[in-house]
Amino acid sequence: MKRMSGGLLAGLLLPLLCGSCSSGNGTDGHQRIVLTGSSTIAPLAAEIGKRFEKLHPGVRIDVQAGGSSRGIADVRQGLSDIGMASRDLKPSEAGELHAFPVARDGICMIVHRNNPLTSLRDEQVVAIYTGKVRNWKEVGGVDAPLTVVNKAEGRGTLDLFLHYFKLTSRQVRADVIIGDNEQGIKTVAGNPNAIGYVSIGTAEYDAAHGTSIKLLAAGDVVANIENVRNGTFPLVRTLNLLTREKPGGLVKTFIEFAGSARVDDLVKAQYFVPLAK
């Protein structure tokens, strides 16, 4: 299976029904479930949706990315049936929404494949992202200026990064701002001096399929899905589906399917970690 970029995903998936989401009938007579949000989860949700459609003729699953904050906002406002968030809910959100985990993932630092570094310590990452280090030679690399790639506001990956490294958005000194994981990977793959951070699942998949990136270890812990699974990698998150009300009917059936062992092969194919059953 080939992972799709965020832009290609939005173009190929069925269009979002504006203003009338909701497990109702679309113009083609099919029942629809609309999911919006995390670009990390969207490719997985699309594959789960395809399998669900085969098991439920007459049902269409519409998936659109845009970031975790979009998923939360849309489901709050009734613009989607299900939101997608690649982070845990904040206390203010947890009281309003119901979260249903579907997989686990981590985030890691990535550099160009030709970069000689294999790992960074936490304090080195902080120094790079706060502008205290501006040349690779200061952290053991070549004599070349750093290009710091950061995530845009509203992305679940950004929230975990800031939380783990105890930073605020104002402290980050970025040269490039990107949206989804694939955009970040493309940026780093095209710049030998760039550094960014993305989903381990997405990065490991792309690196295994020839993209010119390298996943950096966090200290002594290698960045890979196996270390997410065994709990040794430090930057780990839950990938969640969200609803405003307690789900029922077709939405409940889809959420239960998405969190079940029946889709573990799809979760693994996207380089995520299935939930322990």
Is there a contact between 213 and 121 (Cβ–Cβ < 8 Å)?
Answer: no
- 196 has pLDDT over 80: yes
- 21 has pLDDT over 70: no
Same fold across 6-104+239-269 and 105-229: yes
pLDDT of residue 207: 94
- 17 has pLDDT over 70: no
Q: How confident is the model at residue 95 (pLDDT cuts 50, 70, 90)?
A: confident
- Please give the backbone phi and psi of residue 62, each rounded to the nearest 5 degrees, phi first: -100, 125
Classify domain 105-229 at the CATH class level.
alpha beta
Is there a contact between 104 and 237 (Cβ–Cβ < 8 Å)?
Answer: yes
Distances in whole angstroms, Cα of residue 112 to Cα of each of 9, 139, 146, 243: 24, 15, 12, 38
Average pLDDT over residues 78-94: 93
- 20 has pLDDT over 90: no
Average pLDDT over residues 54-59: 96
Transcribe the chain into DSSP letters. Answer: --PPPHHHHHHHSPPP-SS--SSSB-TTS-EEEEEEE-TTTHHHHHHHHHHHHHHSTTEEEEEEES-HHHHHHHHHHTS-SEEEESSPPPHHHHTT-EEEEEEEEEEEEEEETT----EE-HHHHHHHHTTS--BGGGGTS-S-B-EEEEEPTT-HHHHHHHHHHT--GGG---SEEE-SHHHHHHHHHT-TTEEEEEEHHHHHHHHHTT-SEEEPEETTB--SHHHHHTT-SS-EEEEEEEESS---HHHHHHHHHHTSGGGHHHHHHTT-BPPP-
Beta bridge partners of 242: 83, 99
- 28 has pLDDT over 70: no
- 226 has pLDDT over 60: yes
Is there a contact between 100 and 241 (Cβ–Cβ < 8 Å)?
Answer: yes
Q: What are the sequence ranges of the domains in the chain?
A: 6-104+239-269, 105-229
- Determine whether domain 6-104+239-269 maps to CATH 3.90.950.10: no
Closest CA to 242 of 85, 18, 65, 34: 85
What is the C-alpha separation between 26 and 234, in angstroms, rounded? Answer: 43
